[in-house]
Structure 1
Amino acid sequence: MSAHLPTLRVAHTADLEPDERTAARALLYRAFDDMTEDDWEHCLGGVHALLREPSGLVVAHAAVVQRRLLHLGRAWRVGYVEGVAVEASHRRRGYGGAVMAEVERIIDRAYEFGALGSSDEGLAFYAARGWRPWQGPTSALTPTAGVIRTPDEDGSVFVHAGTAALDPTAELTCDWRDGDVW
Structure 2
Amino acid sequence: MDAAFDNFTDLDWAHTLGGLHVVVRDADARDGAVVAHGAVVQRRLLVEGRSLRCGYVASVAVAPDRKREGLGDRVMAELEALAPGHDLLALSSSTEGFPLYASRGWQPWRGPSSVLAPSGIEPTPDRDGSIHVLGGPAGGPLDLDAPITCDWRDGDVW
Normalising TM by the smaller chain, what interval? over 0.9
**Equivalent position of 1:133 in the other structure:** 108
Deviation at 1:166, TM superposition (A): 1.0
1:35 counterpart = 2:11: no
Per-residue displacement from partner, 1:101-143 (whole Å, max 9, x unpaired)? 0111122x23110000001211122112111000111000000
Aligned to 2:52, the other structure's residue is in SS state strand
- Kindly provide the amino acid, as one letter, of the partner of residue 158 in structure 1: H
Query: For residues 36 and 44 of structure 1, what CA distance do their matches in structure 2 show?
Result: 13
Query: For residues 171 and 29 of structure 1, what CA distance do their matches in structure 2 show?
Result: 32
Deviation at 1:74, TM superposition (A): 1.7
- Kindly provide the amino acid, as one letter, of the partner of residue 147 in structure 1: I
1:106 counterpart = 2:79: no
| TM-score, length-scaled by structure 2 | 0.92
Match of 1:45 among 18, 38, 42: 18
Aligned to 1:30, the other structure's residue is in SS state coil
Query: For residues 80 and 52 of structure 1, what CA distance do their matches in structure 2 show?
Result: 23
Percent sequence identity is: 54
Per-residue displacement from partner, 1:135-172 (whole Å, max 9, x unpaired)? 1110000002x011111111000000245521111010
Tell me: higher relative CO, structure 1 or 2? Use CA pairs within 8 A at least 6 residues apart. Answer: 2
- Kindly provide the amino acid, as one letter, of the partner of residue 48 in structure 2: L
- Kindly provide the amino acid, as one letter, of the partner of residue 82 in structure 1: A
Aligned residues: 153
Query: For residues 137 and 43 of structure 2, what CA distance do their matches in structure 1 show?
Result: 18
**Equivalent position of 1:142 in the other structure:** 117
Query: For residues 82 and 35 of structure 2, what CA distance do their matches in structure 1 show?
Result: 21
- Kindly provide the amino acid, as one letter, of the partner of residue 8 in structure 2: M
Deviation at 1:174, TM superposition (A): 0.3
Query: For residues 39 and 19 of structure 2, what CA distance do their matches in structure 1 show?
Result: 7
**Equivalent position of 2:66 in the other structure:** 90
When structure 1 is superposed on structure 2, of 159-168 and 87-96 the one drifting more is 159-168
Show structure 1 runs of 4+ deviating over 3 A. none
User: Cα distance 1:162–1:70, how it changes in 2: closer, same or farther (>3 A)?
Assistant: closer
Query: For residues 32 and 44 of structure 2, what CA distance do their matches in structure 1 show?
Result: 34
1:152 counterpart = 2:126: yes
Unpaired runs of 5+ residues, structure 2, are none
Query: For residues 180 and 68 of structure 1, what CA distance do their matches in structure 2 show?
Result: 15
User: Cα distance 1:69–1:163, how it changes in 2: closer, same or farther (>3 A)?
Assistant: closer
- Measured on the aligned residues, the alpha-carbon RMSD in Å equals 1.1
After superposition, where does 1:160-179 map in structure 2 within 5 Å? 160-162=134-136, 164=138, 165-179=141-155
